[in-house]
Amino acid sequence: MNIEIDFKYLHLLDLNIISKLKNSFLLYECLDTYENNIIMQNNKFNLIKNINLMKKKIGTTDILFSVSKSISFKEFKIGVDEKLRCLIQNDIFYNIDRVPLKVSDIYLEEKQDYYINKFSKFIYYKDEPIGYGQIIRKNSTFLLVNFGIISKFRGKGFGKILLEHLCYECNKENIEELYIQVGTDNFRAIRLYNKCKFKLYGKMNIWVRD
d(CA 135, CA 146): 9
CB count in 10 Å sphere of residue 106? 21
Judged against a pLDDT cut of 80, whether residue 18 lies above it is answered with no
Of 6-15, 72-81, 201-210, least confident by mean pLDDT is: 6-15
CB 133 within 8 A of CB 121: yes
- H/E stretch holding 135 reads strand 128-138
Q: d(Cα 113, Cα 28) in Å, to the nearest integer? A: 20
The Cα–Cα gap between 113 and 131 comes to 24
pLDDT (average), residues 89-100 = 90
With 60 as the cut, is the pLDDT of residue 19 above it? no
Q: Cβ distance 36 to 9 under 8 Å?
A: no
pLDDT band (50, 70, 90) for residue 33? confident
Q: pTM for the full model?
A: 0.81
CATH number of the 62-134+147-172 domain: 3.40.630.30
- Confidence band (pLDDT; 50, 70, 90) for 2? very low
What ranges do the domains of the chain cover?
25-58+176-210, 62-134+147-172
List pLDDT tens digits, range 130-189. Answer: 999 999 998 889 999 999 999 999 999 999 999 999 999 999 999 999 999 999 999 999
